[in-house]
């Protein structure tokens, strides 16, 4: 049996060559990838949550369906069944579950969980058509895989979620920041260009390879009944065998996914990558006037830190952000066969993990929005921000690493003077060492 990485690379190549046609727009380690497809595969691998944005009809939902089907060994029809569409009339009963009416008539309360709540691959189509008040319905489920209805609770031990969103039009709503923050990455499914677009138009056989009507019916029956959890694994394995024999393509079962995650978890950030990440976080969270960034407080004119990212943003990044960065950087390094996480991996991952989380100040740079770029505005702006921080880090990497090393010694009780510097990271290190001026202990 091939190693898991080879299987995942085969799946990625198959989707690229046969199912989701698009141009590569990223390069790392001499390899080129399509960002939307790469982020979708990494999302499936880590059990993450991806927000895929783009114009209607550019493959946002279908790419997620293909990746979900192959990485989670589910026939395409079953993946479709687990899809929820965002619209203003959407209800909890359609998304999460409903009472078993037959049982209810007998005086017993039993919940019939939706396929969306039960299956490990979840797709929310056009999530920004859900009104803001209804977005909270899926907040907890999206975050932790905990679904509650009436007095019952369903916990997903493993799941991945893909949500698609069109750009603003008359029918869309704003995604509330807490929901946005729960997505690990945001990526754009771009137009593939006229030639690939025409190839998509002339190829009508793409999806049929991943359909398995008998397996889909059996899973549907299992979803509506009370069969043991192992039964669906058997059904999925049968689908995997059929895909393997008909397409000569591997799919991943639960055990293989677990193995992949275990391998990823062994990869550590090298010293530079760790120091860069701290530098990036310091810029986006630190405020010399108010201590930290808060969404209701703004740095005024003449702020000491106007040259850093923190000046141009509202609020600070949540603790979910470093978790997303760690998971996706580990998954990327694992996929590339690298032995540790380097600055290169971070440079690739950071724009997609930051784009939807950074709230830029409205009076920020508008020339970035209207200047030339190949990415969606938020991703482009996040990439520019990452490049700025990498440049600042490169210029003083030795000093920042020295500051962190000295801080470790100070933390261990050694009498050393913390390294001073202009960048917010130095101030944040001093705070951790209890050197903050004007510190108040209540």
Partner 1 sequence: MKNPFAEFAGKTPEPVRRLPMEDILAEHTDALDSLKAGFKRLIEDEAGDGLWQPDGDSIVRVYEKACDIGTDVRVEPGDIEVFAHVAFRSEDPDFYLMGPLGLYISALCNASDRAEITLNFGGQDLRLPLLGYRFPEGRRLDVEGHLGDLTGISMTGGALNVNGHVGRYLGAGMAAGSIRVEGDAGRFVGEQMVGGEIRVAGRLGGVGKPVGGVVYHRRQCVYGDPEAA
Residue numbers at the binding site for partner 1 (CB under 8 A): 30, 269, 271, 274-275, 343-344, 347, 394, 397-399, 401-402, 404-405, 407-408, 411-412, 429, 432
Q: Which residue has the tokens 């859900």?
A: 130
Q: Are 385 and 354 in contact (CB under 8 A)?
A: yes
Closest approach of partner 1 to the CB of residue 275, in Å: 8
13 vs 408, beta carbon nearer partner 1: 408
- Report how far residue 420's alpha carbon sits from residue 400's, in angstroms, rounded to the nearest whole number: 10
Q: Are 123 and 161 in contact (CB under 8 A)?
A: yes
Q: What is the DSSP letter of 127?
A: G
Closest approach of partner 1 to the CB of residue 346, in Å: 12
Phi and psi at residue 150, in whole multiples of 5°? 50, -125
- Report how far residue 335's alpha carbon sits from residue 357's, in angstroms, rounded to the nearest whole number: 25
Closest approach of partner 1 to the CB of residue 349, in Å: 15
247 vs 404, beta carbon nearer partner 1: 404
Closest approach of partner 1 to the CB of residue 31, in Å: 10
Q: Are 285 and 314 in contact (CB under 8 A)?
A: no
345 vs 356, beta carbon nearer partner 1: 345
Q: Which residue has the tokens 């993946």?
A: 79
- Report how far residue 387's alpha carbon sits from residue 383's, in angstroms, rounded to the nearest whole number: 6
How far from the centroid of its chain's Cα atoms is residue 95's Cα?
A: 21
DSSP track, 284-313: HHEETTTEE--TT----TT-TTTTSGGGGE
- Other beta carbons within 10 angstroms of residue 442's beta carbon come to 2
* Residue 103 CB partners (closer than 8 Å, separation 6+): 109, 110
Closest approach of partner 1 to the CB of residue 91, in Å: 44
- Other beta carbons within 10 angstroms of residue 237's beta carbon come to 15
| HSE (side-chain half, CA atoms, 13 Å) at 18 | 17
Q: Assign 104 to helix, strand or coil.
A: helix
Tokens coding 219: 């899973």
Count, in order, helices (H) and strands (E) of the chain.
21, 15
Closest approach of partner 1 to the CB of residue 430, in Å: 12
177 vs 418, beta carbon nearer partner 1: 418
Closest approach of partner 1 to the CB of residue 440, in Å: 17
259 vs 397, beta carbon nearer partner 1: 397
Closest approach of partner 1 to the CB of residue 408, in Å: 4
143 vs 405, beta carbon nearer partner 1: 405
- Report how far residue 187's alpha carbon sits from residue 353's, in angstroms, rounded to the nearest whole number: 9
* 212 Rama class: left (phi>0) / alpha (psi -120 to 50) / beta: beta
366 vs 412, beta carbon nearer partner 1: 412
245 vs 412, beta carbon nearer partner 1: 412
Q: Are 268 and 340 in contact (CB under 8 A)?
A: yes
Widest distance between CA atoms in the chain = 74
Closest approach of partner 1 to the CB of residue 427, in Å: 15
154 vs 433, beta carbon nearer partner 1: 433
215 vs 276, beta carbon nearer partner 1: 276
Closest approach of partner 1 to the CB of residue 278, in Å: 9
206 vs 320, beta carbon nearer partner 1: 320
Q: Are 122 and 116 in contact (CB under 8 A)?
A: yes
- In 3D space, the residue among 408, 133, 151 whose CA is nearest the CA of residue 419 turns out to be 408
Q: Which residue has the tokens 């299956």?
A: 119
Closest approach of partner 1 to the CB of residue 251, in Å: 32
């Amino acid at each position: 049996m091939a190693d898991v990485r080879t299987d995942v690379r085969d799946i990625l190549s198959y989707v690229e060559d046969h199912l989701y046609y698009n141009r590569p727009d990223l390069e790392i380690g001499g390899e080129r990838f399509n960002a939307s497809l790469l982020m979708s595969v990494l999302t499936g691998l880590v059990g993450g949550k991806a927000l895929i944005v783009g114009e209607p009809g550019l493959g946002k939902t279908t790419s997620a369906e293909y990746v979900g089907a192959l990485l989670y060994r589910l026939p395409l029809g079953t993946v479709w069944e687990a899809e929820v569409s965002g619209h203003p009339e959407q209800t909890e009963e359609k998304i999460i579950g409903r009472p078993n009416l037959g049982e209810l008539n007998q005086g017993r309360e039993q919940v019939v969980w939706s396929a969306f709540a039960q299956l490990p691959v979840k797709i929310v189509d056009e999530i920004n058509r859900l009104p803001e008040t209804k977005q909270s319905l899926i907040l907890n489920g999206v975050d932790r895989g905990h679904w509650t209805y009436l007095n019952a609770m369903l916990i997903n031990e493993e799941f991945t979620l893909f949500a698609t969103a069109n750009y603003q039009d008359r029918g869309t709503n704003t995604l509330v920041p807490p929901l946005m923050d729960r997505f690990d990455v945001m990526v754009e499914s771009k137009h593939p260009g006229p030639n690939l677009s025409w190839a998509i138009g002339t190829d009508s056989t793409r999806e049929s390879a991943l359909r398995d009507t008998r397996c889909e019916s059996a899973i549907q029956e299992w979803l509506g009944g009370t069969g043991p959890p192992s039964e669906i694994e058997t059904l999925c394995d049968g689908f995997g065998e059929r895909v393997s024999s008909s397409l000569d393509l591997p799919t991943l079962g639960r055990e293989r996914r677990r193995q992949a995650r275990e391998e990823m978890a062994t990869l550590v950030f090298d010293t530079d990558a760790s120091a860069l990440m701290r530098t990036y976080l310091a810029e986006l969270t630190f405020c010399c006037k108010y201590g930290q960034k808060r969404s209701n407080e703004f740095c005024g004119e003449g702020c000491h830190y106007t040259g850093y990212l923190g000046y141009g943003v509202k609020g600070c990044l949540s603790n979910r952000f470093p978790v997303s960065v760690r998971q996706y950087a580990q998954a990327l390094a694992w996929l590339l066969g690298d032995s540790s996480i380097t600055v290169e991996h971070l440079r690739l991952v950071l724009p997609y993990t930051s784009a939807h989380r950074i709230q830029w100040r409205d009076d920020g740079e508008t020339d970035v929005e209207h200047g030339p770029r190949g990415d969606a505005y938020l991703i482009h702006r996040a990439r520019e921000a990452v490049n700025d921080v990498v440049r600042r880090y490169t210029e003083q990497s030795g000093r920042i690493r020295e500051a962190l090393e000295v801080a470790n010694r100070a933390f261990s009780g050694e009498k050393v003077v913390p390294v001073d510097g202009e960048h917010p990271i130095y101030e944040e290190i001093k705070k951790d060492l209890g050197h903050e001026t004007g510190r108040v202990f209540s």
